[in-house]
Amino acid sequence: MLILGTQILLGFQFRAVFEAAFDRLPRSSQLLKLGALIMLLVAFALIMAPGSYHRIVRAGSDAEDVQQSATTVMDIALIPFLVAFAIDLYVTTGRLLGTTGGVMTGATVGVTGYCSGTGLHSCHVRKGTPANAKMGNRGHTRPP
C-alpha cells in the first residue's frame, strides 16, 4: 500500500512541473517542490529496500530479522514521505491562503502526522509485543 501511494504522489510531483501554474509560482516554492520530489524519491527507495533485502540476502526465507528490519525501514521511510506531503500542502495552500496560511497548514499536518506515527509506534513498544502478535505470527508484519 505504501508503494502504491508513493508512486501516485511521485506521478503528481513529476507532472506538476509541466503545469502552467508552476511557472507562476515563486522561485522558492518551485525549489520546495523540487525538495519534496527528492524526499519522495528517498521514501520510495526506502520502501522498496526491504523487499530486495528479503529476496537477495535472506533468499526469500521468513526470518524475524527480516520482519524487524522491514518495519524499521518503513518507519524511517514515513518521515521523508510526511515531509514531502507537508511541503506540498504548504505550496498549495500558500497559493490560496497566503504564506501564513500555507505555513500553518503544512506545519499542522506535518506535526500531527509525525506525532500520530510516533505515538502509535510507542504504544507497540510500551506493550512489549510485536505488531504481528495479534495475527498468530503468520509471518506478516502488517495485515494483508
3-class secondary-structure state, position 15: helix
Tens digits of residue pLDDT in 65-104: 788 888 888 888 888 888 888 888 888 888 888 888 888 8
CA distance 19 to 91: 14
Mean pLDDT, rounded, for 121-134: 51
Dihedral pair phi/psi, residue 22, rounded to 5°: -65, -35
Evaluate whether 3 touches 49 at the Cβ level (below 8 Å): no
Angle of helix 64-127 versus helix 2-16 axis, rounded to 10: 90
29 CB contacts (<8 Å, ≥6 apart)? 91, 94, 95
